[in-house]
């Protein structure tokens, strides 16, 4: 081996540059952070070639004196800390004194600066680490840093640079992170001399979020806040209807610094458990404030990761704050017409704020289409009724395939109505109900699968609907009608107004408008909540099998079952070894009487075996409860009797989160009356 020798400074700087400067976005980050530390109120960033050709950052901060310019680009030279103790009370974004030195080593760097009160400015140039003498120059108060030809002398790094558009995306994300943390600072970004964004100073975080990501997202954010000793957590989290397919929209700021923290990201995911579909990630803008000595920011070269003194406590604080927020918030998605896109194009904002994909967007759109079609099919006029009888029902909007008696009856009733005056022209479902009640509706046996059935009907037809072929599903809790505002019983005590359509959705009138409920998703959620509540309260009620049932399993399955016997017992499934790889099942959960116990056990085994090793028992239990609830719930396609519908709706109010099924799909969507009015051109 060669003898040990001290590395030359330029090599040291290149090594440091390797850690700190990965791509143009790193340059933007470092320069913009310097500008903030310098107290700038305006920062303008200009890029060429995605930043690989040029990054220019102009600020109006305190400036650097001519004497200090050579020091600014020297490594480990900083004005932000003076001693090792200072490392534990860092209040600035920078402190390592490495950024400018690193950038200078791998680019052609020019700094022009003028502190306030100085008659003229000074400039310094560095080309790949070669420093030229400081020269006087004319420039405004503040600092302008220009970084050209990044990595011109490190071709290996240069090769890793992506297309300018991609680099622009990263660079704009770097600026967005700072802009979010400091809404009071005017920030702008230009690329190839064209504006990418310009964010005027704002006193409001929400306003800045709206400027960057669009009003649609800002309108779906909840304010959250909590304090734990000197730790303050606050910010905004998005409604579950606004999620992303990755976790990049989870912004976490610690004392103004954008950080990544796996533990806190996990807490965020936990808080949304059951509210988002698998593979979707919540959107959040969260700010943590704590005394600087409570956190070590010197654990990562770009300070993206930090070490908290008590990360467990922060985890609980974040989870607790969000959970209590969600429990006290109505999360039912509202149907709205599409909002205008973000003020600046997805193309220019890169992945930072690329067009916000709204998970439920497409579905909601389809639902709106459906609702429009359905309402048209019901023969509801969108304009004041024409004087001529039945015009709307038999008009061009009436779809083919409807039975003539259906349209005819509605048309006739509508014809007998008073002509609506502007005051009462807004027909809603109550009126529709009144229209339909006294006249014929399609006979139940005429209703093809996929057609509508009207559950609030006579007793015989309900019995017919709930015949032996109907799924048996256990209903817990009160069966009384009208347990909540959505299903308020009509004055004469009739069952709640809810219409089952396509044997899978329930359409109910609410105070706000119309609620469309996914029968499977809602029932699944109810069962899941009930199961979970019981499991948490202690072992679930068991029902002993008259004759214990031997279940044949593969050796691996048998081993899994026996390993998790306790967990299974908590779910009401008691198993004993029965020789070989057969186990004996002696009990099943009383509340799931309708599924075969062996099937339940197989489902549990499947969950146990497919879950990755090291999964917490709590997660496992949750996964099991999800799949059991899913299996036991009524299915899409199951015809429900009026009683079943009423019971399902009644229970909607008994659970904490009736708005999403355990897989995170929404269980109900609300079509607001104002939205209907808008869609029909009534406003
Ligand atoms: P650090 O930010 O960690 O101190 P840098 O290499 O980024 O290290 O900067 C070195 C020093 O140069 C800073 O401590 C600061 O005094 C000075 N400096 C850099 N950029 C600016 C700026 N835009 N305005 C004023 N001073 C600056
Ligand atoms: Mg710095």
DSSP letters for 118-161: -SSEEEEEEETTEEPPPEEE---SEEEEEEESTTTT-HHHHHT-
Q: What is the pLDDT of residue 109?
A: 98
Atom of ligand 1 nearest to the CA of 93: 2
Residue 30 in contact with ligand 1 by CB distance below 6 A: yes
Element (H, E) at 545: strand 542-552
Mean pLDDT across 299-307: 83
How many Å from the N-terminal Cα to the C-terminal Cα in the chain? 83
Contacts of residue 485, defined as CB under 8 A and 6 or more positions apart, other chains included, come to 510, 511
Task: Specify whether the CB–CB gap between 126 and 146 falls below 8 A.
Answer: no
Label residue 40 by pLDDT band (50, 70, 90). very high
**Helices vs strands, H then E, count in the chain:** 23, 25
What are the backbone dihedrals phi and psi of residue 654, each rounded to the nearest 5 degrees, phi first? -90, -10
Q: What is the pLDDT of residue 616?
A: 60
Q: What is the mean pLDDT of the chain?
A: 74
Ligand 1 atom 17 nearest Cα: 72
pLDDT over 90 for what percent of the chain?
33
Residue 59 in contact with ligand 1 by CB distance below 6 A: yes
Where is average pLDDT lowest: 138-152, 213-227, 496-510?
496-510
Task: Specify whether the CB–CB gap between 600 and 627 falls below 8 A.
Answer: no
Report which of residues 498 and 617 the model is more confident about: 498
587 pairs with which residues across the strands?
Answer: 544
Ligand 1 atom 12 nearest Cα: 72
Label residue 366 by pLDDT band (50, 70, 90). very low
For a substitution probing ligand 1, which of 34, 65, 82, 92 has the most ligand atoms within 8 Å of its CB?
Answer: 34
In angstroms, the Cα distances linking 126 to 49, 72, 106, 137, 487 are 21, 12, 10, 16, 74
Label residue 301 by pLDDT band (50, 70, 90). confident
Mean pLDDT across 24-44: 97
Dihedral sign for Cα 386, 389, 395, 397, please.
Answer: positive
Which residues of 574-667 form beta strands (DSSP E)?
575-577, 582-589
Q: What is the pLDDT of residue 14?
A: 80
User: Which residue pairs from 191-198 have beta carbons closer than 8 angstroms and sit at least 24 positions apart in sequence?
Assistant: 191/46, 191/47, 191/48, 191/50, 191/348, 192/47, 192/48, 192/49, 193/46, 196/168, 196/172, 196/344, 196/348, 196/349, 197/172, 197/343, 197/344, 197/348, 197/349
Where is average pLDDT lowest: 223-227, 530-534, 560-564, 607-611?
607-611
Residue 420 pLDDT greater than 70, yes or no: no
Ligand 2 centre from 101 Cα, in Å? 10
Residue 9 pLDDT greater than 50, yes or no: yes
Ligand 1 atom 23 nearest Cα: 35
Give the pTM: 0.58
Residue 100 in contact with ligand 1 by CB distance below 6 A: yes
Task: Specify whether the CB–CB gap between 606 and 624 falls below 8 A.
Answer: no
Mean pLDDT across 454-464: 29
Dihedral sign for Cα 169, 171, 176, 181, please.
Answer: positive
Report which of residues 648 and 410 the model is more confident about: 648
Tokens of 476: 């817990």
Where is average pLDDT lowest: 133-147, 322-336, 500-514?
322-336
Ligand 1 centre from 200 Cα, in Å? 24
Which residues keep their CB under 5 angstroms from ion ligand 2?
A: 34, 94, 99
Pairing label, strands 186-191, 194-199? antiparallel
Q: What is the pLDDT of residue 1?
A: 84
Residue 92 in contact with ligand 1 by CB distance below 6 A: no
Ligand nearest to the CA of 63: 1
Report which of residues 525 and 429 the model is more confident about: 525
Label residue 468 by pLDDT band (50, 70, 90). very low
Ligand 1 centre from 351 Cα, in Å? 28
Report which of residues 463 and 264 the model is more confident about: 264
Mean pLDDT across 630-646: 83
Largest distance between two CA atoms of the chain: 104
Q: Cα(115)–Cα(120) distance, rounded to whole angstroms?
A: 9
Dihedral sign for Cα 528, 534, 535, 541, please.
Answer: negative
Ligand 1 centre from 78 Cα, in Å? 6
For a substitution probing ligand 1, which of 16, 100, 143, 145 has the most ligand atoms within 8 Å of its CB?
Answer: 100
Where is average pLDDT lowest: 16-20, 128-132, 437-441, 561-565?
437-441
Label residue 333 by pLDDT band (50, 70, 90). low
Where is average pLDDT lowest: 114-128, 310-324, 421-435, 624-638?
421-435
Label residue 660 by pLDDT band (50, 70, 90). low
Residue 96 in contact with ligand 1 by CB distance below 6 A: yes
Dihedral (Cα; 102, 103, 108, 109), 10-degree rounding: -110
Where is average pLDDT lowest: 100-114, 171-185, 321-335, 360-374?
360-374
Where is average pLDDT lowest: 356-360, 504-508, 570-574, 676-680?
356-360
Q: What is the pLDDT of residue 656?
A: 57
Query: Would you call 337 helix, strand, or coil by DSSP?
Result: coil
Ligand nearest to the CA of 75: 1
Ligand 1 atom 25 nearest Cα: 63
Label residue 335 by pLDDT band (50, 70, 90). low
Label residue 469 by pLDDT band (50, 70, 90). very low
Contacts of residue 182, defined as CB under 8 A and 6 or more positions apart, other chains included, come to 36, 256
Highest mean pLDDT (candidates 123-127, 445-449, 480-484)? 123-127
Q: What is the pLDDT of residue 360?
A: 33
Label residue 238 by pLDDT band (50, 70, 90). very high
Task: Specify whether the CB–CB gap between 623 and 491 falls below 8 A.
Answer: no
Mean pLDDT across 167-190: 94
Q: What is the pLDDT of residue 152?
A: 95
């Amino acid at each position: 081996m060669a003898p040990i020798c001290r590395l030359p400074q330029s090599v040291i700087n290149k090594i440091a540059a390797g850690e700190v400067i990965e791509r143009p976005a790193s340059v933007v980050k470092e320069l913009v952070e310097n500008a903030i530390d310098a107290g700038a109120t305006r920062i303008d960033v200009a890029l060429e070639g995605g930043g690989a050709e040029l990054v220019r950052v102009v600020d109006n901060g305190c400036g650097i004196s001519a004497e200090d310019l050579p020091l600014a680009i020297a490594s480990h030279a900083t004005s932000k800390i003076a001693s090792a103790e200072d490392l534990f009370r860092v209040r600035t974004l920078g402190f390592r004194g490495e950024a400018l030195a690193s950038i200078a080593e791998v680019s052609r760097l020019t700094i022009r600066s003028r502190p306030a009160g100085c008659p003229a400015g000074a400039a310094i140039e560095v080309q790949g680490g070669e420093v030229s003498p400081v020269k006087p120059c004319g420039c405004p108060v503040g600092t302008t840093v220009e970084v050209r030809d990044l990595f011109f002398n490190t071709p290996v790094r240069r090769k890793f640079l992506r297309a300018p558009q991609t680099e622009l995306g990263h660079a704009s994300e770097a600026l967005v992170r700072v802009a979010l943390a400091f809404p009071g600072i005017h920030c702008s970004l230009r690329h190839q001399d064209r504006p990418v964004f310009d964010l005027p100073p704002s006193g409001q975080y929400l306003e800045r979020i709206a400027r960057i990501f669009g009003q649609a997202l800002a309108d779906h954010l909840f304010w959250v806040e909590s304090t734990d000793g000197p730790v303050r957590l606050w910010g905004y989290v998005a409604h579950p209807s606004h999620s992303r397919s990755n976790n990049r929209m989870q912004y976490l700021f610690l004392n103004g610094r954008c950080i990544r923290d796996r533990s806190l990201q996990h807490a965020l995911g936990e808080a949304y458990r059951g509210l988002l579909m698998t593979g979707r990630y919540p959107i959040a803008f969260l700010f943590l404030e704590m005394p600087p000595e409570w956190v070590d920011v010197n654990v990562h070269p770009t300070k993206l990761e930090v070490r908290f003194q008590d990360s467990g406590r922060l985890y609980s604080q974040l989870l607790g704050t969000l959970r209590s927020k969600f429990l006290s918030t109505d999360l039912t998605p509202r149907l709205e017409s599409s909002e205008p896109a973000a003020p600046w194009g997805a193309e220019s904002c890169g992945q930072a704020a690329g067009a916000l994909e709204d998970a439920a967007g497409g579905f909601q759109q389809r639902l709106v289409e459906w609702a429009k079609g359905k309402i048209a099919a019901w023969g509801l006029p969108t304009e004041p009724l024409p004087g001529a009888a039945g015009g709307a029902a038999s008009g061009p909007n009436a779809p083919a395939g409807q039975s003539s008696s259906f349209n005819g009856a509605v048309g006739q009733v509508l014809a007998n109505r008073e002509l609506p005056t502007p005051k009462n022209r807004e027909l809603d479902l109550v009126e529709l109900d009144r229209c339909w009640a006294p006249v014929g509706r399609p006979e139940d046996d005429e209703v093809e699968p996929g057609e509508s059935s009207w559950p609030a009907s006579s007793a015989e037809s309900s019995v017919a609907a709930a015949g032996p072929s109907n799924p048996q599903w256990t209903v817990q809790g009160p069966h009384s009608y009208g347990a909540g505002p959505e299903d308020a019983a009509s004055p004469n005590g009739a069952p709640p107004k809810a219409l089952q359509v396509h044997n899978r959705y329930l359409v109910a009138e609410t105070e706000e408008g119309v609620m469309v409920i996914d029968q499977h998703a809602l029932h699944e959620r109810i069962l899941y909540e009930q199961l979970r509540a019981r499991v948490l309260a202690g072992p679930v009620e068991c029902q002993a099998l008259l004759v214990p049932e031997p279940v044949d399993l593969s050796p691996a399955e048998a081993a899994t079952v026996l390993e998790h016997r306790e967990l299974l017992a908590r779910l009401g499934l008691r198993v004993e070894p029965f020789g070989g790889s057969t186990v004996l099942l002696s009990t099943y959960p009383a509340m799931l009487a309708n599924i075969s116990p062996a099937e339940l056990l197989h489902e549990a085994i499947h969950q146990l075996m497919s879950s990755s090793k090291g999964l917490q028992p709590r997660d496992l239990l949750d996964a099991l409860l999800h799949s059991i609830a899913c299996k036991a719930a009524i299915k899409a396609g199951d015809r429900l009797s009026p009683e079943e519908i009423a019971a399902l709706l009644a229970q909607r109010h008994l659970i904490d989160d009736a708005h999403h099924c355990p897989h995170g799909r929404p269980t109900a969507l609300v079509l607001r009356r104002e939205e209907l009015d808008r869609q029909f051109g009534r406003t």
